[in-house]
């Protein structure tokens, strides 16, 4: 049963996020309530589909929908145009029309690709997010960012396209591997570090309960994360200003992912590394105290996440950063924490100096 509902207010693109434990079987009733029709193309992967597709299929069929499973290979390295075409091929082969819809069942990679397919197939069909990883539940399933990676950068190709609804069942986290679960906690830290000091304190006080996957602690952490992100998206849907704050830790995190070919680090792990460096840079710039820096690093360490940048030359990091979506002629937009719970956005032209603060030399 859903225990929390968060409304994302975006005019005619508004939608609700339902958060609970054991509510996965309500997906069919939810889609019917939304007025969806036709065939539900469930886009998933070879890891998640065997665990949850039968339940989702049964619920959708009980609500009167036809179903189609589109099962993709699992992993960030498959978030590309070739895999996206597999979705299009399946939709075309099944003759899906604009009266049908997509259900994204899986983690962030599935949500991003299924959402982009929904945004672009027949110039747009509805989709519903059913995130099954902690990372996707608190981040990628909310806010309408969809897309794929390019060999020269992460998420360079995509569209803003809001889902019709998001259904989050924290019980699906029971089957999530420990490493992926911890990676999701890394993304949660971001919200407290730059947007909610009290939430950061909650994470410090409840780190052990969260690591133990305590349901009540998880529901609160997921709900608060979604509420914070929802507020930011409502103010700045297309990342023209405030929404950029959600990239805290992501600038160097994306560089780490790019340089390692999206294979060595999970996204949340790369973001954790990026947050440690962002806290270091923020402290050097005078935006936060040494104590604030140490609290951020300590929380990340307590959650079992990595903190060190992999050893690539400064030139390699500079090249990766130069392809970041936040680069303009005036420099790289870098998100700093202002104390804990606040933020600063800085335009940085001298990437060499930035990297030197992180201990990266030529």
Residues with a known catalytic role: 123, 145, 187, 229, 239, 243, 247, 250, 254, 267
Q: What is the dihedral of CA 358, 360, 361, 362, to 10 degrees?
A: -150
Q: What is the rounded distance in angstroms from the CA atom of residue 337 to the CA atom of residue 246?
A: 11
* 3-state SS string for the chain: CEEEEEEECCHHHCEEEEEECCCHHHHHHHHHHCCCCCEEEEEEECCCHHHHHHHHHHHHHHCCCEEEEEEECCCHHHCCHHHHHHHHHHHHHCCCCCCCEEEEEECHHHHHHHHHHHHHHHHCCCEEEEECCHHHHHHHCCCCEEEEEECCEEEEEEEECCCCEEEEEHHHHHHCCHHHHHHHHHHHHHHHHHHCHHHHHHHHHCHHHHHCCCHHHHHHHHHHHHHHHHHHHHHCCCCCCHHHHHHCCHHHHHHHHHHCCCCCCCHHHHHHHHHHHHHHHHHHHCCCCHHHHHHHHHHHHHCCCCCCCCCCCHHHHHHHHHCCCCEECCEEEEEEECCCCCEEEEEECCHHHHHHHCCCCC
Query: What are the tokens at 182?
Result: 């911890």
Query: What are the tokens at 262?
Result: 């999206």
């Amino acid at each position: 049963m859903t225990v929390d509902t968060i409304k994302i207010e975006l005019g005619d693109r508004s939608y609700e996020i339902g958060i609970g434990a054991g509510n996965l079987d309500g997906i069919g009733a939810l889609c019917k309530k939304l007025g969806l029709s036709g065939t539900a193309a469930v886009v998933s992967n070879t890891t998640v589909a065997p665990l949850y597709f039968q339940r989702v299929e049964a619920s959708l069929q009980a609500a009167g929908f036809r179903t189609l499973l589109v099962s993709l290979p699992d992993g960030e390295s498959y978030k590309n145009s070739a895999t996206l075409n597999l979705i299009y091929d399946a939709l075309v082969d099944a003759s899906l029309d604009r009266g049908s819809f997509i259900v994204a069942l899986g983690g962030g990679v599935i949500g991003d690709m299924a959402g982009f397919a929904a945004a672009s197939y027949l110039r747009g069909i509805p989709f519903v997010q059913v995130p099954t990883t902690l990372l996707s539940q608190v981040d990628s399933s909310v806010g309408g960012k969809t897309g794929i990676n390019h060999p020269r950068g992460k998420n360079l190709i995509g569209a803003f396209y809001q889902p019709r609804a998001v259904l989050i069942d924290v019980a699906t986290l029971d089957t999530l591997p420990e490493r992926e679960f911890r990676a999701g906690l890394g993304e949660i830290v971001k919200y407290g570090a730059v947007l909610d000091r009290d939430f950061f304190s909650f994470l410090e006080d409840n780190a052990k309960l969260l690591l133990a996957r305590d349901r009540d602690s998880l529901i609160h952490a997921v709900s608060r994360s979604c509420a914070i992100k929802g507020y930011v998206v409502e103010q700045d849907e297309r990342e023209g200003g405030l929404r950029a704050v959600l990239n805290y830790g992501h600038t160097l995190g994306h560089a780490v992912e790019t340089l390692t070919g999206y294979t060595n680090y999970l996204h949340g792990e790369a973001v954790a590394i990026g947050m440690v460096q962002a806290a270091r840079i923020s402290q050097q710039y005078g935006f936060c105290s040494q104590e604030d820096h140490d609290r951020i690093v300590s929380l990340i360490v307590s959650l079992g996440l990595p903190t060190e940048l992999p050893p690539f030359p400064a030139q390699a990091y500079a090249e990766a950063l130069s392809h970041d979506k936040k680069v303009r002629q005036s420099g790289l937009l870098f998100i700093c924490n202002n104390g804990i719970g606040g933020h600063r956005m800085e335009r940085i032209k001298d990437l060499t100096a930035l990297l030197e603060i992180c201990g990266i030399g030529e």
